[in-house]
Structure 1
Amino acid sequence: MKRLSQAEIYKKNIFLRVDLNVPMSNGKIRDESKITSVLPTIKHLLRNNNRIIICSHLGRPKGSYSKDLSLAPIASRLSKFLENIEIKMIDFPFDNFTKDRLKSSNIYMLENIRFDNREELNSEDLSNELSKFSDIYINDAFASSHRKHASTYGITKFLPSYAGFLVEKEIDSLNELFSSKYSKKLAIVGGAKVSDKIKLISNLSKKLDFVLIGGGMISAFVQKNHPEYGYAKEIVLNSRGKIIIPDYVLVGNEFNENTKYKIINTTDIRDNLNIKILDIAERSFEKISDYISTSDLIIWNGPVGVFEWANFSLGTLKLIELLKNTKAKTFIGGGSTAEIIHKTSTQKYFTHISTGGGATLEFLEGKELPGLRALS
């Protein structure tokens, strides 16, 4: 993989693919971490007198224009982080823009690339059109690198291509999880369905020493009549590491925020498929804290309870407190887990917080990401 950190790029037109797919409500950005994560690459390119065309997507417009999914508010916010440098928008359709217009500014942003239905089809025509703006392509969109799209994959056929600083950091950090220099490695995997995480758990359980299961999918590991018991049994049989099931959980008869709940021993739910596991009980954390304190590397992916419901967020919050105080290197596996870390303002306590959701998951499953392969 060719890296920006190892290249000397000056006075060029750069097509910079980033992932600014930030959560928004009523036109306001709820979490700016994806914006701040690409600042090192942008600032480096500007210092070297390059002109930049930023490309990203936002949401799922399905190939048509939507005012609610415009990148204009994000361009405005990014400008503030760059000392109010003007970022000129290139409106859709993009074929109205010519390379000659680049002389009027140092930084541009394409309107939402997914307004063009050819993006997700990995259209060679679109890839070629995008490449005509620039001399060099840089991918700093780790969170989109599992997509074989025109702006993450196809464009590399037409331009010299490099990984940006964020992509470099993501790859180096996630590769460290499988390094042999750590003696005890722990994975904490939460979620509702084993089928959603079976490849992740399977891969991690073969390479790490311990895998702690959290969330509703605990049921699949203890209930023989559970529809996903077969998945769970296969994981346990093929695991090199030890699979850890919490001893006590919060359960309710209904899956809703206000359901009545109680604490029971996990073994007591074996024959009751109607019980819903909603969180890990505090009594379980005595054993969990032992695994955390004796590990020197920890990866966490997925809340261990229904975090968005106050009554069932305490297990996840307790887990954060334990991880904040561990001496181990701690890695957050992106997606909803990263959102929780930012929401609780605990970023500084973790070694690395991945910006990827699906991309991080696929990387940890052992899959090759097309957007990264294209940089080789």
Structure 2
Amino acid sequence: MAWTALEQMDLKGKRVLTRVDINVPMEGGRVTDMSRIDRIVPTVKAILAKGGKPVLLAHFGRPKGKVVAEMSLSHVRPALEGALGVPVRFAEDCVGPAAEEAAAALPSGEVLLLENTRFHPGEEKNAPELAAAMAKLGDVYCNDAFSAAHRAHASTEGLAHLLPACAGLLMAEELTALDKALGNPARPVMAIVGGAKVSTKLDLLGNLVAKVDTLVIGGGMANTFLAAKGIGVGKSLCEHDLAETAREIMDKAEAAGCKILLPEDVVVAREFKAHAESRIVHADDCPEDMMILDAGPIAVAAIATALGRSRTLIWNGPLGAFEIPPFDSATKSSAQIAGKLTVNDGLVSVAGGGDTVSALKQAGAAEEFTYISTAGGAFLEWMEGKELPGVAALG
């Protein structure tokens, strides 16, 4: 899809209402992971460089339309100011007299952070009156929060229709990377989808089998597909009630010419704990008193072969119980192979989702991937083929 880029906008002397995602983890009053703050810095600095005055809109936590002191964005302001290297002012509301006064008084070269948008019940309801009140604070709207783009909220969707709108640098980067992965990809295209349950990724699998050439299914999800083929999975996590659904997905894949890769061998154990006694068995040879916790080396070799033939990779979800060794092996090995192919052979590799990002970092492969999205829900809905309201509003 087409969108207006930040670079195309005349911002000199204008207040730029910028929707960002700085919903960061905190402990003891300190931000424990700066990733989301760091990723908005280029957009804010670009606005300042063009003579604009950034007025930041964001949510923090889930206050459910009420003022919750612990969820005030004032707690994030010091970390934000440190990352930007310029003064960051704070307004105690995101609409109304306090916000209007602060926005009007904002000098060039400084940034204004508005209070948590979700302190207002109208935010998540996309209330037109709240969006209109926000619009009074700026001359231009810039959405740099792809991670919130799957929500039709006042600050992510409603506001985009009331002011000249554009995509921030991070938003544009996400959209460009995603278009390369599924919109207009270099083929063959391969997807790796893992995680615990098929039930949470039905739409995703249904969309992918029609769009990719190879689909690797891993994690607890693979157990459901193995069981659907009549293979015993012992005490493994498995949604037996979704066997028919799994068979339908496999039939749809076959009709679309998409090859589904399930693990030929697996790592089994009696206990789900770090360094539990485990062994590798053929996928159809899982003992009744054991559980499948990872894919085996033959499965990893098959993934490596498929990766070597692919030009584009989309990855969402781990291949095993990657949080605890030795059940992190398949995820780690496959991530490292994908990383090397990206660096050496030009594989376009795009990954997203909380567990996926953690797994790739753990494998030391995150820096080698073409693009890593921290968007979570928005990334998943995009992979499912759904329209994202916050993106559509920029078109």
Q: What amino acid is the match of 1:285?
A: V
Q: Distance in 2 between matches of 1:223 and 1:46?
A: 57
- In the other structure, the counterpart of 2:371 is 352
Change in 2 beyond 3 A, CA 1:342/1:9: farther
- In the other structure, the counterpart of 1:42 is 44
Paired residues, number: 373
Where 2:76 maps in the other structure, the secondary structure is helix
Q: What amino acid is the match of 1:12?
A: K
Q: CA deviation at 1:74?
A: 2.7
Matches within 5 A, 1:242-261: 242-253=259-270, 255=272, 261=278
- In the other structure, the counterpart of 1:229 is 243
Among 297, 309, 320, the residue aligned to 1:282: 297
Deviation string 1:24-74 (CA, Å, 9 cap, x unpaired) is 344333332222221221111001121111111122122223333332343
Q: CA deviation at 1:166?
A: 1.2
- In the other structure, the counterpart of 2:216 is 212
Q: CA deviation at 1:343?
A: 5.2
Q: What amino acid is the match of 1:35?
A: I
Where 2:209 maps in the other structure, the secondary structure is helix
**Structure 1 residues not aligned, in runs of 5+:** none
**Structure 2 residues not aligned, in runs of 5+:** 231-239
Q: CA deviation at 1:333?
A: 2.1
Among 304, 318, 327, the residue aligned to 1:303: 318
- In the other structure, the counterpart of 2:237 is none
Answering whether residue 29 of structure 2 is matched by residue 27 of structure 1, we say yes
1:253 touches 1:276 (CA, 8 Å); kept in 2? yes
Tell which deviates more after alignment, 250-259 or 64-73: 250-259
Answering whether residue 156 of structure 2 is matched by residue 117 of structure 1, we say no
Where 2:208 maps in the other structure, the secondary structure is helix
Give the TM-score taking structure 1 as reference length.
0.91
Deviation string 1:71-104 (CA, Å, 9 cap, x unpaired) is 2343222222222x11111114742414343324
1:216 touches 1:276 (CA, 8 Å); kept in 2? no
2:332 touches 2:359 (CA, 8 Å); kept in 1? no
Change in 2 beyond 3 A, CA 1:285/1:235: same
Change in 2 beyond 3 A, CA 1:268/1:175: same
Where 2:267 maps in the other structure, the secondary structure is strand
Q: Distance in 1 between matches of 2:208 and 2:166?
A: 29
Identity across matched positions, percent = 35
Change in 2 beyond 3 A, CA 1:193/1:177: same
Q: Distance in 2 between matches of 1:345 and 1:36?
A: 20
1:329 touches 1:351 (CA, 8 Å); kept in 2? yes
Q: Distance in 2 between matches of 1:149 and 1:113?
A: 10
1:10 touches 1:49 (CA, 8 Å); kept in 2? yes
Among 270, 274, 283, the residue aligned to 1:266: 283
Answering whether residue 371 of structure 2 is matched by residue 367 of structure 1, we say no
1:189 touches 1:300 (CA, 8 Å); kept in 2? yes
Answering whether residue 84 of structure 2 is matched by residue 65 of structure 1, we say no
1:142 touches 1:355 (CA, 8 Å); kept in 2? no
Q: CA deviation at 1:244?
A: 0.2
1:252 touches 1:277 (CA, 8 Å); kept in 2? yes
Q: Distance in 1 between matches of 2:89 and 2:270?
A: 54
Give the TM-score taking structure 2 as reference length.
0.87
